[in-house]
Amino acid sequence: MVGAGITGMLAIRSAAGSNKAESTQAIRQGQQTFARYCASCHSIHSAASLTGPGFKGYFSNHQPKPSDIIVRAVIAKGKGKMPAFGNLNKTQTDEVIAYLKTL
Ligand code: HEC
């Protein structure tokens, strides 16, 4: 019984570890997608606008927090002068959002 408990705990630990690795990987992918498609119009170094608003602190400083759903819709459909990025699939969009949350 004791042995089973320890094995169970190790299983939980390693599952948590791999989720973290997965999310680090997702953020890295998101960073690449952002650099490719978004960085020409959106700064990551400040909140000041280039063509579009800067994303430094976009998720962390805003109250209320921007919602993932709205950000997803802006990416998919565009907004004002921002073109739609319908070419990004759900995974790529999730990755970009995960990356924006780290800024
Ligand atoms: C050609 C320039 C351009 C590119 C490229 C671009 N954007 Fe934008 N983006 C804008 C502009 C301009 C706005 C402001 C639109 C408005 O409010 O009228 C905007 C707004 C946004 C907003 C809403 C900000 C807010 O709070 O109102 C998000 C989120 C966003 N862009 C994400 C992205 C992402 C992610 C990408 C890459 C997939 C991207 N943008 C690529 C120009 C661009």
- CA distance linking residue 20 with residue 7, whole number of Å: 20
Q: What is the pLDDT of residue 61?
A: 87
Q: What is the pLDDT of residue 4?
A: 57
Lining ligand 1 with CB less than 6 A are 37-38, 40-42, 51-53, 66, 71, 74-75, 79-83, 85, 96
Asked if 42 contacts 52 with a C-beta cutoff of 8 angstroms, the reply is yes
Q: What is the pLDDT of residue 64?
A: 85
Centre of ligand 1 from the C-alpha of residue 19, in Å: 29
How high is the mean pLDDT in each 10-residue block of the chain (103 residues)?
Answer: 57 61 92 98 95 95 88 97 97 97 95
Centre of ligand 1 from the C-alpha of residue 3, in Å: 54
Going along the chain from its start, the domains and CATH numbers come out as 2-100 (1.10.760.10)
> Which residues fall within 8 angstroms of residue 20, CB to CB, at 6 or more apart?
none
Q: What is the pLDDT of residue 27?
A: 96
- CA distance linking residue 77 with residue 86, whole number of Å: 7
- CA distance linking residue 82 with residue 70, whole number of Å: 14
Cis upstream peptide for 64 (omega within 30°):
yes
The reported pTM is 0.85
Q: What is the pLDDT of residue 96?
A: 98
